[in-house]
Structure 1
């Protein structure tokens, strides 16, 4: 299954930052940006966030964070229409030449999950057993994705919490030095900006990326369930047209109409 860069993810991140900066500049000009740069607050939030993640997860899971982030910036090219066509072709060849002929056919298939299912079918494994084996692989995939996603979800919880810790720190310093007016400004900056930094990281980066990964997992599970139905249909020797109708039940109305239009156009070209 090929992957390509997902422009929506970086576009969303850039748009969120741009709107935040635009709000500041439109209110106080470009000089107002300097008021939102406070390194002690960054140390508190980023340092506390890093420490919290290191405490919460084993090192091997932390090392996977960059791989998880990479997944959030990619999308699968596999579409339902192409998936259905693949199984229709496999079913047609299996009915004409037998299941063993599919060993050569699947060399042209890029998806390892489809390959595994077809090879199980060729080996004569019972449909219920194939379903159990492939369902187990889906469950394992969901667990792997959950572990990776949980790091981002935990970061989304820790960032605002450490922002609040910075706020409390600033308030303590401010109240301790009320007799010195010169310290009120810097201490108040720590109190407010750390909460801002934590909220920005959580709501612009960590929570949206975790949600994106959750949706990608749901879509991948959905596609794999269709693959299981297709594999069992091919093994049972279903008529290609019936199998196509069965798998088309997973399509939306718009996608079904698109397939019908393609079939009509192809038939018209053949008549010519």
Structure 2
């Protein structure tokens, strides 16, 4: 789990609740089930209507990815690439098949199998670039779904507030409850703006950053695998890949 991201969410909640408390408000004033149903349900519905099913499913998976420990260890991967270069020079490219079997990263696994099969640098690049670009575009589409939800949520909050006001106005015969009813109606607006700006939009931006980080990592791996295919020595590969770390 990425505890930094979780801490950010907790700080956001603490800021809103703490500010409400300092203003003399009570927690129960911010609890409104109908408002939550309108904002959350309406936002999800808008995203589902807007996007293909595969993008919505991908967006749900990316939500978990955003709060996981996903930063690739570039230094470790440089060491791995240098190690595979040493194995290839000592035992031949076919020996990398055993290394591919142990590899968990599908992108690296495919690259090692291509090396073990004796494929040339051009074939390795063309094959892996298709997977690299396709995966990037698929994840960016998922991030856009979450980002679009951040655009819909405030509008749904306004709809919830208007519906609440309609309910209040239909009960003008009870003046004592008028103020409390109006205050409750605007809770939906808080939900919409809060969910959008404290969760959905930040999460979408973080996913975009993670996608870029993974892209750079895979570019480094691709560069290293091609260097092995070209027969470069381990020292040269290590010096070449050091630029990615800097």
TM-score interval w.r.t. the shorter chain? 0.7 to 0.9
Aligned to 1:155: 149
- Tell me if 1:224 matches 2:236: no
| 1:175-214 → structure 2 map (5 Å cutoff) | 181-182=175-176, 184-214=178-208
* Matched residues, number: 246
1:53-202 aligned at under 5 Å gives the runs 53-76=47-70, 78-170=72-164, 181-182=175-176, 184-202=178-196
Tell me how far 1:28 sits from its aligned partner.
1.1
Contact 1:159 1:199 in 2 (8 A): yes
Deviations, residues 110-148 of structure 1 (Å, cap 9, x unaligned): 322222112212323231221121111011111221232
The residue that corresponds to 1:17 in the other structure is 13
Cα shift readout 1:87-130 (whole Å, capped 9, x = no counterpart)? 11111222223222222333343322222112212323231221
**What is aligned with 1:267?**
none
> Counterpart in 1 of 2:235?
241
3-state DSSP of counterpart to 2:69: strand
Higher-Rg member (1/2): 1
* TM-score, normalization by structure 1: 0.80
Cα offset, 1:46, TM superposition: 2.4
Q: Distance in 2 between matches of 1:12 and 1:49?
A: 22
SS of equivalent residue, structure 1 residue 44: helix
Contact preservation (8 Å) 2:143, 2:207: yes
| TM-score under structure 2 length normalisation | 0.88
Choose 150-159 or 230-239, whichever is displaced more. Answer: 150-159
* Distance (Å, rounded) in 2 between the aligned partners of 1:228 and 1:204: 36
Unaligned runs of 5+ in 2: none
1:245 Cα deviation (Å)? 0.2
User: In 2, Cα distance between the equivalents of 1:39 and 1:122?
Assistant: 58
